[in-house]
Structure 1
Amino acid sequence: MNPKAFGVFLPPYHDPAKSPHTALRDDIELCGLADDLGYDEMWLGEHHSGGWGTLSSPELLIAALARETRRIRFATGITPLPYHHPLHVAERIALVDHLSAGRVILGCGTGTYVHDMEMVGVDPTTVRAHFRAALDAVRALLAGETVTVETPWFSVKNAVLQLRPYRDRVEIVVASSLSDEAVELLTETGTTPIVNLAPPYGTVRPGTGADPVATLTERVATYRAKSDDPARLRANVFVHLAESAERGVDELIDGFTGQRLGLYRTVLGLPMPAAPAVNRKALESMVEQGVFVVGDAAACVARLEDLLGRLGELETLTFFVPGWLPHSAVREQLTALADEVVPALRAGRAGTAESIRIVSEEAARQAKLRAAMTVSAPAQ
């Protein structure tokens, strides 16, 4: 059950001790690398506060990257619709769709940071209803409709896009937990979900909560049962290649702990212990549950194949890049995933393996023929 495509999800998170300009330059380099390596999609996050995610306009970055890349598709990951007027969202996406020659995906959601909402005057208690109203308006505008709507949060009067999408449509993907309410929204709007395999890792405590993979599998099954196009599903998974799972934990623990304590504990104020042993246990627990896929290439491929077997057909499997590793290590990981994991999941080596099998089975017989050919060859 192989995905149709593979992508990279770049939130992007960076330690505030790193120069924001350097962080942006590094992310641009990663986007170019992903294109060179053959990834199909690159997802770029949007954040407005908190210091860890400083990319405020993925559309601007996509417009710049469109001229520097050849084939990779770019997705906003995600555009929080309640923060923006729907007409502006639709106009910007249509423009970027032309600048990229049809390589843009509108990834959208409600947003997560309360401070982001408060800075632009959005009431956090209304974001779900606000999001749904904005999504309906954006969908209609991108479909070429003239929209007039009055809501408690925005007004649209005789709005129409002067610049229509480059091709027939722009794909709209919704970041979703696949709750009953979310499944209803997805089925009613005909949008594609992208789901995270991991729960918010900043809140994870070892030994608590249900099995995340089993929970997601159940939610996916519910969505597929109600969707007219159940194959249209994306999953976002963190994968780290290392000599072993234990070695991988050692390589990740500093960045994982630094982000949990620096972002989730200090900035967002979530209650969690600072003890190194507790944070290591949280990471180890996620690896043991298969929520984070860590190990050598064969082990990671086996884990992913099991996951894909449980989730079923995917539109895209995206590899999550949470900012736990130095830039050089992220480059190495993306390269190794493209070279060792993606081909295995795509059965890219099936042809060579079958040829080796056939020729080796025939080797003895063919060796006799070669010998006979040599003996019977006429003298020169």
Structure 2
Amino acid sequence: MDIGIFMMPSHPPERSLSDGFEWDLKHLELCDRAGFAEAWIGEHFCSPWEPNPAPDLLIAQALLRTQRMKLAPGAHLLPYHHPAELACRVAYLDHVAKGRFMFGVGSSGLPSDWRLFNVDGQAGENRKMTREALDIILKLWESDRPFEYRGEYWTVNRIDTMHETLKFHIKPYQKPHPPIGIAGLTPKSDTLEIAGERGFMPMSLNISKSYLAEHWASVERGAEKTGRTPDRNDWRIVREVYVAETDAEAKRLALNGMLARAYREYLLPLFGGFGLMPLFKHDQNVADSDVTPEYLVEHNWLVGSPRTVSQKLADMTGDAGGFGTLLVLTFDFSEEHEAWATSQQMLISEVLPQFRHRAAA
């Protein structure tokens, strides 16, 4: 198993955009030094708790301040980008990264962003736009000849040479293109079917065992359409993690900092509005009002000493049926940076070796 991070990026609404950006860079530097394999950076337009509409700007800065780990938008929301523009922009950034770039795509799950861009997400228009945009981007990268693509949402012309010097010329550094990951949100994710169909990396939140099972079933449905066999080692799963010397200290830190605050003020109300609250419960007799950060510490999150978190990670792996990369969901820990830095370092230096020892036994 590899370890990476997933940054929404999350910041409290009172944090200035520039201060949040600087802390994100500081955290990426920390994770690179600690030995994390990769970092995925989200994109949203109308969520004050996830205030980054341009993950590629953060990636461009982070490439200058990190040395080893791969960086990726997690994800560019394809309905909101002209595919020809994004194909050129992503290919250009791939050259700047020289192999340390992955291309994350998604269809968008926030109704606020749907409304801003006049996309009918309730009817699935966002998913149809994602398929079309991805088709165009890949065709631009793969083709060496002019073509016209007339789709339902975009018309794109890969031009022949004009005026002797003008031509389409920006193709990715990695061949045929950077590794592609696709994020899914809904339980029976149509977006993750695309990952299965095309052999791309699926990405899932770990809301619960049943949620993950439905996500992998979506990948398998997609793979069946094209005769592929999906590889669980490609699967990225996002999980909340907090490690400290003792279980009591880890719980105290998790429940008295930004992780718990973000859940109380943002994520639990949001998931409740999406009708996903039952997925968090280990027992459906639990009332929605009882699904709190305190509940999640006991039943969902990977919180505790290195030994405890190693066992919880082993249990999570078994429940999921296996996966390749754990992505630590990251919040704005700028006011508790030292404790969070310790947690991240202990995850790599103590939890991961214990987990691998268990897995090899």
Decide: shared fold, TM above 0.5. yes
- The corresponding residue for 2:180 is 172
- The corresponding residue for 1:154 is 154
Between stretches 169-178 and 262-271, larger displacement belongs to 262-271
**What is the rounded CA distance, in whole Å, between the counterparts of 1:334 and 1:220 in structure 2?**
27
Cα deviation 1:26-75 (Å, max 9, x = unaligned): 11011111111111101111122232222221112212221222111001
Matched, 1:73 2:73: no
**What is the rounded CA distance, in whole Å, between the counterparts of 1:154 and 1:192 in structure 2?**
25
Matched, 1:285 2:306: no
Gaps of 5+ in 1: 199-211, 351-380
Between stretches 27-36 and 318-327, larger displacement belongs to 318-327
Mapping of 1:55-74 within 5 angstroms?
Answer: 55-74=52-71
Name the CA shift for 1:147/1:54 in 2 (closer, same or farther; >3 Å): farther
- The corresponding residue for 1:365 is none
- The corresponding residue for 1:300 is 309
Q: CA deviation at 1:133?
A: 1.1
**What is the rounded CA distance, in whole Å, between the counterparts of 1:33 and 1:256 in structure 2?**
18
Name the CA shift for 1:176/1:278 in 2 (closer, same or farther; >3 Å): closer
Residue 25 of structure 2 contacts residue 62 of structure 2 at CA under 8 Å; is this kept in 1? yes
**What is the rounded CA distance, in whole Å, between the counterparts of 2:61 and 2:260 in structure 1?**
33
Name the CA shift for 1:261/1:306 in 2 (closer, same or farther; >3 Å): closer
Between stretches 185-194 and 242-251, larger displacement belongs to 242-251
Q: Taking structure 1 as the reference length, what is the TM-score of the superposition?
A: 0.76
- The corresponding residue for 1:241 is 243
Amino acid at match of 2:9: P
Aligned-pair identity in percent equals 26
- The corresponding residue for 2:262 is 259
Residue 48 of structure 1 contacts residue 54 of structure 1 at CA under 8 Å; is this kept in 2? yes
Q: CA deviation at 1:270?
A: 4.0
Q: CA deviation at 1:134?
A: 1.1
Matched, 1:338 2:345: no
Amino acid at match of 1:176: G
Name the CA shift for 1:142/1:245 in 2 (closer, same or farther; >3 Å): farther
Name the CA shift for 1:249/1:81 in 2 (closer, same or farther; >3 Å): same
2:303 partner SS: strand
**What is the rounded CA distance, in whole Å, between the counterparts of 1:339 and 1:87 in structure 2?**
43
Name the CA shift for 1:242/1:331 in 2 (closer, same or farther; >3 Å): closer
1:164 partner SS: coil
**What is the rounded CA distance, in whole Å, between the counterparts of 1:66 and 1:136 in structure 2?**
28
Amino acid at match of 2:182: V
2:65 partner SS: coil
Q: CA RMSD in A?
A: 3.3
Cα deviation 1:265-288 (Å, max 9, x = unaligned): 88999499xxxx987752233333
Amino acid at match of 1:259: A
- The corresponding residue for 1:220 is 216
Residue 67 of structure 1 contacts residue 100 of structure 1 at CA under 8 Å; is this kept in 2? no
Aligned length: 330
- The corresponding residue for 2:22 is 25
Pick from 80, 84, 87 the counterpart of residue 84 of structure 2: 87
- The corresponding residue for 1:132 is 131
Between stretches 140-149 and 32-41, larger displacement belongs to 140-149
Name the CA shift for 1:242/1:69 in 2 (closer, same or farther; >3 Å): closer
Gaps of 5+ in 2: 160-166, 276-286
Name the CA shift for 1:173/1:265 in 2 (closer, same or farther; >3 Å): closer
Cα deviation 1:135-169 (Å, max 9, x = unaligned): 22222223346553223322212268512211212
Amino acid at match of 1:193: P
Q: CA deviation at 1:17?
A: 1.8
**What is the rounded CA distance, in whole Å, between the counterparts of 2:93 and 2:188 in structure 1?**
31
1:235 partner SS: strand
Residue 46 of structure 1 contacts residue 55 of structure 1 at CA under 8 Å; is this kept in 2? yes
Cα deviation 1:238-275 (Å, max 9, x = unaligned): 11113555554432334345324543588999499xxx
Residue 176 of structure 1 contacts residue 182 of structure 1 at CA under 8 Å; is this kept in 2? yes
Residue 140 of structure 1 contacts residue 147 of structure 1 at CA under 8 Å; is this kept in 2? no
Amino acid at match of 1:322: F
1:240 partner SS: strand
**What is the rounded CA distance, in whole Å, between the counterparts of 1:40 and 1:295 in structure 2?**
22
**What is the rounded CA distance, in whole Å, between the counterparts of 1:163 and 1:155 in structure 2?**
19
Q: Taking structure 2 as the reference length, what is the TM-score of the superposition?
A: 0.80
- The corresponding residue for 2:326 is 317
**What is the rounded CA distance, in whole Å, between the counterparts of 1:102 and 1:148 in structure 2?**
30
Cα deviation 1:54-104 (Å, max 9, x = unaligned): 222111221222122211100101111001011112111111111011111
**What is the rounded CA distance, in whole Å, between the counterparts of 2:197 and 2:291 in structure 1?**
41
Name the CA shift for 1:30/1:265 in 2 (closer, same or farther; >3 Å): closer
Cα deviation 1:175-211 (Å, max 9, x = unaligned): 025626345422322222011112xxxxxxxxxxxxx
**What is the rounded CA distance, in whole Å, between the counterparts of 1:44 and 1:183 in structure 2?**
18
